[in-house]
Amino acid sequence: MLVIITTYTGMLIFAFVELRKQYKLDKNASDDDYIDAFYYKPLSVIIPAYNEEVGIVDSVRSALNLKYPQTELIIVNDGSKDRTQEVVIEQFQMKKIPKVIKKQIRCKPILQVYQSEIHHNLYLIEKENGGKADALNAGINFARYPYFCSIDGDSILDEKSLLRVMKPIIMSNEEVIAAGGNVRIANGLDVHWGSVYQKDLPDRPLILMQIIEYTRAFMMGRISLAKFNLILVISGAFSVFAKKWVVEAGGYSVQTIGEDMELIVKLHRFLYDNKLNKRIEFVPDPVCWTEAPETFSVLRKQRRRWHQGLIESLLKHKKMTLNPRYGKIGMISFPYFWVVECFGPLIELGGYIYIVVAFFLGKLYFEFAIMLALLFILYGSVLSAFAILMETWSVNVYAGIRNFFRLIIVSLTEVFWFRPLTLVWRCEAFIHVILGRKSWGSMDRVGLSKKPAQDERSNQSK
């Protein structure tokens, strides 16, 4: 409890100070100030898609609506078994084209390339199934621009997201080689034609609890870690990379489930091994909307997979732990991720089990147990309150006193149902690692758009 409180209080303070500096900045004016510089940083947007029939059209439309001077959009169909490819071809009038692809990173064979007749910067790659990491590697091989942005097939970007996530790269004179953006949950929101219009909170407690989780993780942990170049994870749902350094590091790993964390760790290791002074940033302002699990079964698979990816990456690069050769990453980031993020669930779940056993054995110190429980509940609520407050300063997604207090009230219940469940699911990841299981599991999508998909040709004629 002491370690957790000390760690997260420190993160809260650093994140608070960092966001307070940006509180009164005119972000729209800042976007315009750097617009000329963006012309010299063309960017490829890569959307890996496997069985994304329900949400792929909205994701593509949102990417086409992005305000960025020079982009190309690459959809990588990773051997989908549903109608993902047919839907994209039909909606965006795709035609087969001959294309020579330079294979800089190993990936499964590419079967065919399509180009849209109505959006000439929109491409579709059909390839054999190899997993998300393999699909991203294929997209990198196809990309012709020096920077690329990876977006999940069920995600939607705000129109200025690319402009804002690229700012650290532009302003740093290429010292920053990767930047991650903010991810928010879009379930229950008003999504039409690839854009989010109404941003009120949904009613379901399971979705509300995930909103609180995402807000805490992005507005506290990642801001504070990125400030000191200690970040080991930026979301695969929305992140930008310098293509050169990703290729040099070997691209995405197909050997681990958590390809997003694995790439960041590989980049840090490559930079230290080659004595390169580069940074990886997190930018709280640009928002990516994504679909969160709506059932406990799907959420269980997601959390187990996330934790398994964390364990695999830490084990693969375990020699970096407490190794002075890797500077702050080895001496601070790795110990933190091992103790708090990796083994934290085992320790905490062990505490819950001990309390239950002690209760039945009559050896429970009730006063001390109640004090710790109240401290845990209170501290979790304080963290949530400050995270939501900082989110209001920077992004202002869920504005309003009513929404603020709804989230705080729901956060008070976290320790009684949501946290114990996620602890169990994360502990299951250790079993999967020991048994060598690599399956992602089926992640059913319900889609974000409230309107049925309409033919892109008719939309163009209107």
Regarding predicted confidence, which is higher, 278 or 14? Answer: 278
pLDDT tier, 28 (very low <50, low <70, confident <90, very high otherwise) = low
Q: Tens digits of per-residue pLDDT, 179-226?
A: 999 888 888 777 776 677 666 788 889 999 998 888 888 888 888 899
Regarding predicted confidence, which is higher, 399 or 384? Answer: 384
Query: Which of the residue ranges 121-135, 260-274, 394-408 would you say has the lowest mean pLDDT?
Result: 394-408
The pLDDT score that the predictor gives to residue 39 is 63
Mean pLDDT of 390-398: 67
Q: For tokens 């601070």, name the residue.
A: 332
* Average pLDDT in the chain: 86
pLDDT at 451 over 50: no
Mean pLDDT of 69-95: 95
The pLDDT score that the predictor gives to residue 198 is 63
Query: Which of the residue ranges 12-26, 299-313, 368-382 would you say has the lowest mean pLDDT?
Result: 12-26
Mean pLDDT of 439-457: 53
The pLDDT score that the predictor gives to residue 108 is 94
The pLDDT score that the predictor gives to residue 439 is 67
Mean pLDDT of 412-440: 89
Domain tally, the chain: 1
Percent of the chain with pLDDT over 90: 48
The pLDDT score that the predictor gives to residue 216 is 86
Query: Which of the residue ranges 1-10, 73-82, 211-220, 334-343 would you say has the lowest mean pLDDT?
Result: 1-10
pLDDT tier, 232 (very low <50, low <70, confident <90, very high otherwise) = very high
Dist. CA 248–CA 269, nearest whole Å: 12
Regarding predicted confidence, which is higher, 320 or 70? Answer: 320
pLDDT at 29 over 60: no
The pLDDT score that the predictor gives to residue 414 is 87
Verdict on whether the full-model pTM lies above 0.85 = yes
User: Structural domain of residue 199, as residue ranges?
Assistant: 2-461
What CATH code is carried by the domain that includes residue 172? Answer: 3.90.550.10
Q: For tokens 């510089």, name the residue.
A: 37
Query: Which of the residue ranges 110-119, 301-310, 377-386 would you say has the lowest mean pLDDT?
Result: 377-386
Mean pLDDT of 15-24: 74
The pLDDT score that the predictor gives to residue 326 is 97
Regarding predicted confidence, which is higher, 393 or 15? Answer: 15
pLDDT at 406 over 50: yes
Mean pLDDT of 73-89: 95
Mean pLDDT of 380-384: 78
